[in-house]
Structure 1
Amino acid sequence: MWFDSWGDIARVLLVGSAAYATLIVVLRLSGKRTLSQLNAFDFVVTVAIGSTLATILLSSDVSWSEGLAALALLVGLQLVVALVSSRWPRTRSVVSAQPVVLVRDGALRRDAIARNRLTETEVEQAVRSSGSGDLASIAAIVLKTNGTLSVIPREKYGDGSAMGSMRDRDAADET
């Protein structure tokens, strides 16, 4: 339980060092998007990469070359999905959620809050965390694709150009 052999320790050190170096190279080649966690799919891939690295380090049943293949597969598939979803917007909804406006002009959109399995208390907590105590001072609260809440005060809303297509979806939801 406390110690098996020096050979096992040496294997972890050698294979672990090689796997770590390989991971750095693979991640650098794949670009920033691989670990960006822009949405739930990105998060799952990041966790899978970490789990794969841990398996390479700790399981003597997995060789370094098998681990390299697994890491390359995960990163390669992530690249393919990112390319496809960036080139063909209709495919984006398959791997990522759309941002949702939960508060518009200080008014809670209770239907959107309920549809996204949140509570009004959680939305109010986001307002307080942003340093505001008044919903009327908030232009919008957006549930982003990664599950976090973005609070936009009225004085920073500007022309609302960062709201993009959410304005169109809002209008459709209200009719």
Structure 2
Amino acid sequence: MIIVVIRTLILYTLVIVALRLMGKREIGQLQPFELVVILMISDLAAVPSENVGIPLLSGIIPILVLLSASLTLAWISLKSEKARDIICGKPSILIERGQIIEEEMKKNCYNLTDLLEELRLKNVPNIADVEFAILENNGQLSVIPKAHKRPTIPEDFHIMPQFEGLPLTIIMDGKLNSKTLEKSNKTLNWLKDELKKQGTKIEDVLLASLDSSGTLYVQAKLEKKPQLK
């Protein structure tokens, strides 16, 4: 039993390392060759972990070969546009200037029901409002509405909003992040004073973040929140 556990942990670690080396992507954003590699790696890892009679190397070596092949293809597609088109394919325009391209629909086995469903998911229920709809290599549908149907933005009204940077997390689960506090150009005494105004202290804070305008957001831990009378 111990041998099975050890073998499983080794294969599990190897699979995690392999997935990390392949990069950070959601399943829906994987290229076809990447999805195939993941499926094959999972199958190769399952067999040696279930059957002690199979040598561990029989699972490790194929996984390393697949990982090497995947990284090689990724490197080639990164360096060569022509190779990228062959390996990953090209996006297909399903709607162009408001007109459905039937040939592309048939080529990608994409029916009208699927198209209308994806448009609804993109908050474009009326196909007449679509300028372009592009089926990306990862299977996602990119929708570009017609100019007069797009949401308005401040630039349309000649308004220049103030810069909004990323909020800095200063306290998380009662622990102070000194580096983030230093990056915010605030002092520890300032932080303690702000927390004191809200009737709490560092170790009692679940989350505290500072936005680009200098506003401090604080949420105390549930058991430390003041009780309303």
TM-score (norm 2): 0.57
Q: Are 2:134 and 2:142, in contact at CA under 8 Å, matched by a contact in 1?
A: yes
Q: Hey, what does 2:46 align to over in structure 1?
A: 54
Name whichever structure is richer in helix by fraction.
1
Matches within 5 A, 1:113-128: 113-128=105-120
Q: 2: distance between equivalents of 1:19 and 1:35? A: 22
Aligned counterpart in structure 1 of residue 89 of structure 2, from 97, 100, 109: 97
Name whichever structure is richer in strand by fraction.
2
Q: Taking every aligned residue pair, what percent have the same amino acid on both sides?
A: 23
Letter in 2 for 1:48: M
Q: Hey, what does 1:144 align to over in structure 2?
A: 136
Q: 2: distance between equivalents of 1:71 and 1:18? A: 12
Q: 2: distance between equivalents of 1:48 and 1:148? A: 23
Q: Hey, what does 2:61 align to over in structure 1?
A: 69
Q: Hey, what does 1:131 align to over in structure 2?
A: 123
Letter in 1 for 2:47: T
Alpha-carbon offset, residue 132 of structure 1: 2.2
Aligned counterpart in structure 2 of residue 32 of structure 1, from 9, 13, 23: 23
Matches within 5 A, 1:134-173: 134-154=126-146, 155=150
Question: Which deviates more, 60-69 or 121-130?
Answer: 60-69
How many residue pairs get aligned? The number is 148
Once the two structures are superposed, what CA deviation does each residue of 1:104-162 show, in whole Å capped at 9, x if it has no partner? Answer: 23221112112222112211111122222211222221111122322233327xxxxxx
Q: What runs of 5+ residues in structure 2 fail to find an aligned partner?
A: 152-229
Question: Which deviates more, 64-73 or 75-84?
Answer: 64-73
TM-score (norm 1): 0.73
Q: 1: distance between equivalents of 2:104 and 2:19? A: 37
Q: 2: distance between equivalents of 1:25 and 1:44? A: 17
Letter in 1 for 2:79: R
Give the structure, 1 or 2, with the largest relative contact order (CA under 8 Å, sep 6 or more). 1
Alpha-carbon offset, residue 33 of structure 1: 6.3
Aligned counterpart in structure 1 of residue 102 of structure 2, from 110, 116, 122: 110
Against the structure 1 CA distance between its residues 26 and 117, is the aligned structure 2 distance closer, same or farther, given a 3 Å change threshold? Answer: closer
Once the two structures are superposed, what CA deviation does each residue of 1:56-103 show, in whole Å capped at 9, x if it has no partner? Answer: 211334322332212111111101111112112212233222111101
Q: 1: distance between equivalents of 2:25 and 2:61? A: 16
Q: Are 1:34 and 1:79, in contact at CA under 8 Å, matched by a contact in 2?
A: no
Q: Are 1:104 and 1:139, in contact at CA under 8 Å, matched by a contact in 2?
A: yes
Alpha-carbon offset, residue 35 of structure 1: 7.7
Q: Provide runs of 4+ in structure 1 moved above 4 Å.
A: 33-37
